[in-house]
Amino acid sequence: MKSRAICAGLLLAIFPTLDGPYRVALPGYHYEFPKDYFDHPEFQTEWWYTTGNVKTVDGRAFGFELTFFRQGVNRDEAKKSPWDMMDLYLAHLALSDLDGGHFYHSERLNRAGPGIAGVSGHDGKVWNGNWSASWKDGGQQLVAQNEDFRFQFTLKSEKTPVVHGENGVSQKAEGTGRASHYFSQTRLATRGTIELKGKQYAVSGLSWMDHEFFTHQLDAEQAGWDWFSIQLEDKTELMLFEIRRKDGTIDPYSAGTYVDASGKSNHLRSQDFSLQRHSAEWTSPITGTSYPIQWNVTVPKFGIFLDARTKLPQQELAGGTKLAPTYWEGAMEYSGKRGSAPLHGSGYLEMTGYDHPIGLK
């Protein structure tokens, strides 16, 4: 799900969809790894989305986001010049200084050009300028920087990739092809360095990587969503999303996945979990948008009852332009119980459509 769809939707508003040349996500897709880590140009929209929570040895906490988007705008195979625009490449970068109380973010948009941005399965790399994610030696490397900070991380997966949905698709709305092919690496042991305002921090923690590709997803009555990644200390994980409709109801295509400690996944339908907002809200001084920043998360099927909250309410990516949409994406802390046993963890929350319904401005 995620802000990815907002970015894709806004790009589609500028470069209208070319339905004919592109495939839609249909049941029966067979995933192949590592091949599926890379690009699928037969689908119009694709993204690679990594978020994480890391700490220094003395406990200073940071969250981060590095995302890459590919949006197809032309499938004319006769075009050969590096400057012919076949795809657009958008990227978002964010750092949450959770103990310092600051949030930094930036974005960029490029065409492929002569190596400016792109995806290469041969080289094992996704990049946009000097921001990159690369797969090699059984792990993943993230490198990115802006005027405020830079980071470099090494990620090692502790579990095999988890495919979301049923029969190879994550259905998002009624109708053929209103779906995506969607998988995650839900537990990535992470080590590296952050340089912030001239000071360097050695950090370690956990990251989560989503990869999703499709041509259609949402319908016109779906207004936004709330998406949770949850990495628990008992080595289990949850991905949950709730799609909000314009009439205020929750869409029945809301869904999720539970991953047990061995890596086995279990599909969750909307009736299998509950996401309840608390009254606590944060109102952006930039956009005036209010976001619920404390939630109750329950998955009765697995005996899980969690309180979700953030140390840093101001994690809004306030774009204000067609190519830089506004959404809230931030590092979260989870605490509660599995049955009678205490349960704690960390993860991320994304909230979209709170300033205006998706696709409208």
Task: Convert the pLDDT of each residue in 2-33 to its tens digit.
Answer: 445 445 444 444 444 444 589 999 999 999 99
**How much is the pLDDT for 138?**
83
pTM metric for this prediction = 0.92
The CA dihedral of 8, 205, 99, 240, to the nearest 10 degrees, is 40
Give 42-96 pLDDT, tens digit per residue: 999 999 999 999 999 999 999 999 999 999 988 777 666 777 778 999 999 999 9
> Which range is least confidently modeled, 131-135, 235-239, 277-281?
277-281
Cα–Cα distance, 248 to 277 (Å, whole number): 14
**How much is the pLDDT for 348?**
98
Tell me the C-alpha to C-alpha distance, in Å, between residue 78 and each of 40, 85, 156. 19, 12, 40
Question: Which tokens is 330 given?
Answer: 């931030």
Answer yes or no: are the C-beta atoms of 208 and 347 closer than 8 Å. yes
SS3 state at 14: helix
Q: What are phi and psi of 164, to 5 degrees?
A: -95, 155
Give 104-114 pLDDT, tens digit per residue: 999 999 999 99
Domains of the chain with bracketed CATH: 3-351 (2.40.370.10)
Question: Which tokens is 286 given?
Answer: 């930039």
What average pLDDT does the structure give for the chain? 91
Q: Is the dihedral of CA 148, 331, 91, 7 positive or negative?
A: negative
Give 341-359 pLDDT, tens digit per residue: 999 999 999 999 998 777 5
Give 119-174 pLDDT, tens digit per residue: 999 999 999 999 999 998 889 999 999 999 999 999 999 999 999 999 999 999 89
**How much is the pLDDT for 359?**
58
Give 262-275 pLDDT, tens digit per residue: 999 999 999 999 99
Q: What mean pLDDT is predicted for residues 185-214?
A: 97
pLDDT band at 220 (very low <50, low <70, confident <90, very high): confident
**How much is the pLDDT for 74?**
81
E strands present in 137-214: 139-145, 149-157, 162-163, 170-171, 179-196, 199-214
pLDDT band at 360 (very low <50, low <70, confident <90, very high): very low
